């Protein structure tokens, strides 16, 4: 059975970017494929501690898992929910893969360059982050890993490490699908990168200080509407999808498509030739308002106990599956 796997760190409340780039695609794929695929949804809590955590990590983790349920995740026996730090095989395999990956390929990771800002005083976890991510994926033989575009480079690194390992030791790991195939599997034309509303050249990020730049999943829907209405656009005067010259308008079209689960091309076609940016903003603001209202109502209904009982089952499955794979790797290195 193929495995579809994803994780979202729970350092703080998530943004609309996390939601549309990773969480919602995962929920849609899970609901479509969970009859014949393993659906692994985990919280990479060890990845969280490379940087500051707002609030209590344990509680944030439960909240992040509730997000999936509020976004419509249907649970059945093939859906597995777990916390990374409750499955020690992740850290163990990370160490072993550290001895397979090279300094050169790991140093080339854009996220490492951005997060370390070239400073030697950044913690080693920031550097090692993609290797732990590779372990998260390879332990479960995952083929598809729904992620936003900023993470694709880490998938390519995972593929390279797994291929090198398999060439030496035989086909122990399943090689995850290529980025292009990942995008196709998600039903997208290209990777999703939701932009900062005020500065659309950049991605929407939880760490951006300017409040109007990002929509948080706990924003009052009214407030989120106002943020969309004040989004930066351009002076071209025509509604067109062109991320290079019109990133603000293109971002709004992208949000409109994803929130309503419509093909991007349909939304682009519907607005082609229109010139009133205000009309597009009103439409997107109302879509986001409806989405957040519904999402927040569902969040309020989900009890911690529901998540905790899923975790108990999921962590049993995760430990069994991951330990079996780890043992194969340990044997390959004559550790066992």
Footprint on this chain of ligand TYM (rule: CB under 6 A): 5-9, 17-18, 21-22, 44, 47, 133, 136-137, 145, 147-148, 150-151, 192-194, 203-204
C-alpha to C-alpha distance for 253 and 233, rounded to whole angstroms: 12
| Nearest residue to the partner ligand TYM, using Cβ | 21
* Nearest approach, Cβ of residue 228 and ligand TYM (Å): 15
Q: Which is nearer to ligand TYM, 127 or 238 (CB)?
A: 127
Q: How far is CA 182 from CA 66, 81, 201, 251, 284, in A?
A: 25, 21, 24, 21, 27
Cα distances (angstroms) measured from residue 216 to each of 123, 231, 284 = 27, 15, 16
- Of the residues 35, 58, 66, 115, only one is catalytic, namely 115
Kindly state the tokens that stand for 179: 């980025």
Closest to ligand TYM by CB, 190 or 274: 190
331 tagged catalytic = no
Closest to 237 (Cα-Cα) out of 266, 280, 270, 194? 280
Alpha-carbon span 110 to 116, nearest angstrom: 10
Q: Give the Å distances, CA to CA, from 330 to 95, 127, 156, 172, 325.
A: 11, 24, 24, 11, 9
**Which residues make beta-bridge pairs with 5?**
40
Give the integer Cα–Cα distance in Å for 323 and 234.
53
Edge-to-edge strands, sheet with 37-43: 79-83, 37-43, 2-7, 142-144
Minimal distance, residue 96 CB to ligand TYM, in Å: 16
Q: What is the nearest approach in angstroms of ligand TYM to the Cβ of residue 227?
A: 14
User: Smaller CB distance to ligand TYM: residue 7 or 247?
Assistant: 7
Q: Which CB, 34 or 64, lies closer to ligand TYM?
A: 64
The minimum distance between CB 237 and ligand TYM, in angstroms, equals 27
Active site residue 303: no
Which residues, in sequence order, are CB contacts of 244 under 8 Å at separation 6+? none
Which residue of the set 32, 35, 178, 206 is catalytic? 206
Helix (H) / strand (E) element for 129: namely helix 124-138
**Least distance in Å: CB of 275 to ligand TYM?**
27
The smaller minimum CB distance to ligand TYM, of residues 69 and 194, is found at 194
Whichever of 108 and 297 has its CB closer to ligand TYM, that residue is 108
Instruction: Annotate 144-169 with b (16+ C-beta within 10 A) or e (fewer).
Output: bbbbbbbbbbbbebbbbbbeebeeee
- Which among 35, 113, 117, 203 is annotated as catalytic? 203
Is 115 in the active site?
A: yes
Report residue 69 as tokens: 């349920």
CB of 182 to ligand TYM, least distance (A): 11
Q: Which residues are catalytic?
A: 115, 203, 206
């Amino acid at each position: 059975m193929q495995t579809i796997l994803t994780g979202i760190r729970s350092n703080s409340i998530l943004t609309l970017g996390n939601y549309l780039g990773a969480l919602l695609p995962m929920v849609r794929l899970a609901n479509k494929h969970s009859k014949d695929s393993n659906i692994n949804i985990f919280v990479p809590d060890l990845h969280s501690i490379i940087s500051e955590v707002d609030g209590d990590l344990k509680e944030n983790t439960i909240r992040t898992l509730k997000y999936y349920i509020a976004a419509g995740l249907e649970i059945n026996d093939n859906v597995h929910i777990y916390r990374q730090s409750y499955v020690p095989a992740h850290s163990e395999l990370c160490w072993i893969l550290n001895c397979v990956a090279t300094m050169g390929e790991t140093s080339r990771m854009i996220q490492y360059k951005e997060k370390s800002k070239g400073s030697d005083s950044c913690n080693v976890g920031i550097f090692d982050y993609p290797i732990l991510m590779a372990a998260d994926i390879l332990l479960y033989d995952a083929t598809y890993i729904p992620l936003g575009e900023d993470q694709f480079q880490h998938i390519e690194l995972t593929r390279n490490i797994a291929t090198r390992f398999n060439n030496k030791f035989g086909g122990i790991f399943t090689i995850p699908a290529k980025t292009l195939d990942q995008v196709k599997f998600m039903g997208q034309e290209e990777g999703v990168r939701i932009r900062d509303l005020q500065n659309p050249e950049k991605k929407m990020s939880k760490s951006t200080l300017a409040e109007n730049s990002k929509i948080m999943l706990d924003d009052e829907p009214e407030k989120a509407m106002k943020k969309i209405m004040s989004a930066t656009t351009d002076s071209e005067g025509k509604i067109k999808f062109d991320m290079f010259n019109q990133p603000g308008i293109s971002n709004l079209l992208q949000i409109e498509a994803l929130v309503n689960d419509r093909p991007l091309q349909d939304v682009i076609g519907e607005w082609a030739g229109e010139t009133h940016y205000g009309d597009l903003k009103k439409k997107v603001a109302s879509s986001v308002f409806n989405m957040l209202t519904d999402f927040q109502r569902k969040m309020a209904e989900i009890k911690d106990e529901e998540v905790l009982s899923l975790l108990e089952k999921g962590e049993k499955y995760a430990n069994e599956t991951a330990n079996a794979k780890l043992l194969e790797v340990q044997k390959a290195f004559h550790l066992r």
